[in-house]
Every structure is written in C-alpha cells, then in structure tokens.
Chain A
Amino acid sequence: MKNIINFFLTFCVAVFFSAHANAKTKVSLWSEHSAEPKFSALNKIVDDFNAMQDEIEVVHTAYENTPYETTLKTSFSGGTPADIVTINGGSNMYQYAEVGGLVDLTDFVTSISDRIAPGVESIYTFDGKLWGVPQGLHIGNLIWYRKDMFEEMGIDPKEMETWSGFTGVAQKFLDAGITPIAFGNSEGWPGNHYNNHLLRRMLSTEDYINIGLRTYDPTLEAGTKFNDPAAVKAWELYRGLLDKGYFTAGYLADDYPTALGLLFTGDAPIFSNGSWVVGRIKKGAPDAPIGVMAFPAVEGAPGTNTELVINSVVLTITRGAVENGTVEAAKKFLDYYTSEAAVKDWSEMTQSLAPYTYDTSSWAYDPIMQDISNIIATSTSSAPFLDMLEDYACNVPHTWDASQGILTGDLTPQQAGDDHEQCVLDLIETKY
C-alpha cells in the first residue's frame, strides 16, 4: 500500500513538473481589429508567431472599434489591461503613458529602429521615451477624384496641386452644373480633417507639431497660436468652400460613407480623405476610375504638398505585462511583429502602407496603393493628425465641433481660433 502511495505521489509530482516545464508563457493581446480583413491579418501573424517557437503563446482578443476605447479605459482603471494592446498613436497613447499605464520601450524600439521608417516617431514618442511600435500607416491629406469626369471636362488633375488651382477646378465643375466636392460632416471629423490639412499647409512642420503638442508638453513654444492669422486662415479657406457652393447639399447632414458614395456614383468628382478610402473603393466601387493625389499647397504658406499628415495604430506593452511577468515575452512578439514577414502579411492583407523600411516594390499591392506609395516616396516630411498631437479635451470641441460651427455660422474663423487658444491655455493651467 505504501509503495502504491509513493508511486502515485511521484507520478503526480512528475506530471506537475513536466506540465510546467512545457507550459508556454501566455501573452494576451487586445486589438480593435474585429472587422475583416484586419482581424484575419492579425490572427495570421499571431498564429505564425505561435507556430515558430515553443515558449510563448500569444492570445489575441479583438473588440469592436467603438467599445474598444471604453474597454481599454476600464481595464486600465481596474488594473487589468492585457499584456499588449493596440492604441491609436499620438494623444490617445500619451494619456496612457502619462499615467504610467505603459511600459517604456525606448531600449527595445531603439534596438530595432533601423526597421522603422523615419518621420513617424511622433506617433509613438512621448516625453522623450518610446512607447510602442507602429502598425500600418495611413496618409490623411489626400484628394480623390473621378478620372472620367476630369477627362470629360478636359481638366488636368495636376491643376489641383495648389489651393487656387483646386478651387479653380471646383469652379469649372460648378459652372458646368456639377457640385464639385463630395462632403458630409455630420460626424465632425471630415471637417476637422480639412482644417487639419489646411493648418499643415499654413504652418511649418515644427510649428504644426508644437501647436498641438503643447497640451502634453507645456514647455514647447508654439511659433503660431490658434488665433494667429495663419491658423485662422485655415478656417477661412475651409469656410470659403461652402460660401462658393462647392460642397454637396448634405454637407452637415451626410456622413463619410454617404459622401464617399457620391464620388463612387459620379455625382461629385472630388473627395478629400485619407488612404483608408482604398478599402472602401475595393469593397464599394472596385471598377470606378478613381485617382488620388496629395492635398494642395496654399500659395504663400510654408507647407508644400509633399508634406504629409499621417496616423497609425501603435502596439504597446502595458503595466499588466509587468504584473504578469510577461514583458520580455511580449517584446519577443513585437520583435516578430516588426519583422519583414509579419509587416508584409499585414500590409498585403489589409492593403495598408507599412511604416517600415522594407522594400515593398514586390508586395501584392493594389495599383491605387502604389499611387499612394509614390506620394510617400516623394514626401519631404510627415506629421501626425492634430488630434493625435493634442489633448482631446481641446481638440474635439475646437476642431471637430468647430468644423460644424464654422459651417452653421455659429462661429467665425477668428472666434474658432480664439476659443481654441483659450482652451489650450486653460488646459495647460489646470493640468500642470
């Protein structure tokens, strides 16, 4: 009997230790990529990583875009965030880094910095430290146009390289009885983008970054304030498009998909939005003759049309990984995630640009993505969207909402600038 008990105990101990010896370190990964093709693309990268080694198992959980932000905030305040989380770069990421929710990855990211394309650092940098690696890249300041309608009117799209050329083209269409610019700002962000891109053109890159980043770093000196003439002019040019009758009738009632639909159906020849439109074109109008070019430069302003506005999601490691003892394992996954194989998978499957230095010429990109790649190839600088640089507390009411207020007539461009600047000053005073 004693022997049987001894054997049984030995067996149990052996099973316990062998089980633990073979146990993989589990790393949880949360993303907002619940929709295809991003869901499958990230799952493939995770599966490939899990298959190529025996020590770590990454478990991916995807949330829908809108509840994801709430889920993240709740998990951070409750102290149980996943080991790795995807966060929109810039201000959204800063708010988590600012309160010690993220692991400082400066050493790790520096060690793989030769892989990351130059010009996107501000997306994952805060307070002089690096907090993650970028996932995909989008160019925000693009103009989409109907090639067939331009040909029919005998207009060369290159005329739109300057603001006066852009409005000149719009006027030609208007004179021909066609409302030129498909626009729907019921959500606020498309109007915010117009102002954002015009502001990017009105200011130097340094001033553009500093004017927004002040809300996170009050030591920064903004060469231009929001109520200075250059910034106010951005609003004036935006409002001018409405005054001249260039926007489609639902400019405050329609949303982004409805306005984009007007470009697809040929009801309007011009649409301004980011590179994410490619996915919509492939899904909604794969055969539509649509061309793309950079947002026009404003004559006399320092910004050129080779200066880009970008955004990217960032993969970060949270303090949850510190508590779970999985920081090193999470870094190994990020190391794989930034490898050429994984970046290629993500870029091809989601048809998104890669913020990495790998040669993409042989990758399976849609022709329109190649056009966008060419815009990147000729770019002279990149900077994130203003709402990725500036605290939402000021950005949302004074750019998103103001882009509606300017169109309803509730705000003049100068008022919008004054209110925005006041908000920044008040925020800096209460925060620091």
Chain B
Amino acid sequence: MKNKRTNRYAHLIFIGPAFFFYTMFWITPTLVAIWISFTRWNGISWAHIKWTGFSNYLKLFNDRFFFTALQNNLLFVFVCVSIIFFTALAIALILNLRPFGWRMFQTTFFVPIVISSVVVGLLFKLFLSPTTGIINEFADYFNLESFKNVQWLGSKETATYSVMTVYIWRDLGFSILLFGAGLQAVPKDLIEAAKIDGASVLATIRFVTIPLIRNISLVVIILAVTNAFLLFDLIYAMTLGGPYHASEVLATYMYYHGFSRGQISYGTAIAVLLFFIVVIVTAIQLIIARLLEK
C-alpha cells in the first residue's frame, strides 16, 4: 500500500525541479509581462507604475510603424518560408542522390548555420555598403551604372528585401539538414519498388518520398514560421529596423520602444501581441497537421 502511494507521487521528485524553474523563469515573467502591458512604467521604479488598461493596445492600432513591422513579419513568413521550404527540399533531394561533390555542397550549405547571425549581418552590411562594399566595387568594375551607389540597406525600397535574401541564405542550410535527415529515414526498398513498378523519378518523389517525409516537412515549416516571426538579430545587425522603420519587424520594434525610447510598457504590449501571434500560428499549424494525418 505504502509502495503504491510512493510510486504515485515519485514523478513529482523528478518533475518538481524542472517545473519550479519553468514556472519561475518562464510562466511568471510571461504573466508579469502581460500585466506590465496594461500599465505605464519607465522600467526603473515599481512605485511609479500606473494601470492604464488597454491604452497601449489601442495606441498600437494607430501606430503605422507597428503595421509596417507586422507586414514585414508576414512577408518574411510567406516569402522566406516558401522559398526556404521548396529550395531546401529540392537541394536535399538532389544531395540525397549523392551526386559528384555532394559532401562539399552539403558543407557549403551548412556553413551559415554555424556562423553567428550578428556576424553574418555585419559582414553583409559591409558587403552591401555603397561606399566600401564589394557590390559597389563590382558595379564600378563592370560599369553597371544602375547598381552603382545603391543603398541596399539604406533605401526603403530595398532594405527589407536585402535582409530577406541574407535571411534565406542563412536559414536554408538548416532546412536542408532536416530534410536530409528525413530522406535518410525513407526506406530504400519502397523507392526500389516504385522503380521496379516503372515510376519516374518525379513520380517516386511525388508519391513515395514526399508523403514519407511529411512529419519532417511539418517540423521545417513550424520552425521556419516561428523563426520568421521571432526574427531580431539579423535585422538589428543589418539595418536596426531602418531606414525610418522601413525594415522593422515586431521583435525589433518591441526592442526599440522598450529600450531605445524607454517605453517598457508599450514595448511589452508589442511582445505580448507577438507571443499570441506565434502561439496561434503554431496551433493552427499543428491542427492542420493532425487533420492531414487523419
């Protein structure tokens, strides 16, 4: 009897510490952040915090830069995730055939993952500078007048797309890696069977390989979508969200208000919205995945 009771509560000993730290350092700050988003606070003295209700959220709806940031996030989600997903899948399928030099290609695609995003951002910032960058040198050398002196990161028209290009370059390798691992797990005998049945390469990919890597595809999409919503480092290193907020995303806009302008509550309201957006989008993806499984 005693043993049964002991066994019934034994898991608490193992789960307890993790649950404590998870609650202390994740759940509690999240709840505090939600509370702060309904106040006006300078981040210095708790005695000077003032409850302001929904005013921070109402202010967000009149903030044009907030919508620029949200629009840029959605652009990253739809454009970058689509490009990364299909390009990574195509490259992984090719590499899975083990063509000549496949190891070199695999390593090349993998390199950006192990470089810090800030380093990647700063390097590309240098490359793309119209005064000191190699692209300007290149344009000069080949007399490409329309490319000369273009402010890739300093123009409203090009800043976001320039960062997106670098973002795709940086994140592609990770998705290739995931797809590569998924393809490794596809049973060879099923591929052989399809070949014997006379299926073409494309038909084998369409009807055998892709259905078998559905779960890994879902992981790639969820990670890519979440990363695109939470993007901060690359934007911060390359454009700081500029020029004049043109390349802002929600995470950089949150930082801008919270730390550059000293408006902790307003920044926190942006963070809370971002949190719920990511939760909702992830939930939708999981629901779709379950429906597909059925």
Contacts and interface: CB of A to CB of B under 8 A. Distances in A.
A149 interface: no
Contacts of B245: 401
A186 B153 contact: yes
Contact of B156 (A248, A267, A400, A408): A408
B263 interface: yes
Interface in A388-432: 391-393, 396-397, 400-401, 404-405, 407-408, 410-411, 430
Contacts, number: 102
Contacts of A407: 243
B260 to A, nearest CB: 5
Interface residues of A, number: 41
Given A99-B44, A253-B154, A408-B246, A248 B131 contact: yes
A250 B152 CA distance: 9
Contacts of A207: none
Contacts of A400: 260
A100 B45 CA distance: 8
A96 B44 contact: yes
B244 interface: yes
A376 interface: no
Interface stretch (A70-78, A103-111, A164-172, A320-328): A70-78
The residue in B131, B246, B259 that gathers the most chain A C-beta atoms within 10 A of its C-beta is B131
A258 B132 contact: yes
Contacts of B290: none
A411 B244 CA distance: 10
The residue in A187, A258, A401, A407 that gathers the most chain B C-beta atoms within 10 A of its C-beta is A401
* Tier of interface size on chain B: 35 or more
B149 interface: yes
Given A73-B44, A250-B129, A408-B244, A392 B153 contact: no
Given A249-B149, A252-B242, A410-B244, A95 B129 contact: no
A261 interface: yes
Contacts of A188: 240, 242
A186 B239 contact: yes
A161 interface: no
Contacts of B43: 73, 77
A349 B267 CA distance: 39
B261 interface: yes
10 cross-chain pairs, A with B, having the tightest CB-CB distances, nearest first = A253-B154, A252-B154, A99-B45, A249-B149, A253-B151, A249-B130, A404-B244, A250-B131, A405-B244, A252-B243
Interface of B: 40, 42-48, 125-126, 128-132, 136, 149, 151-156, 239-240, 242-246, 259-263
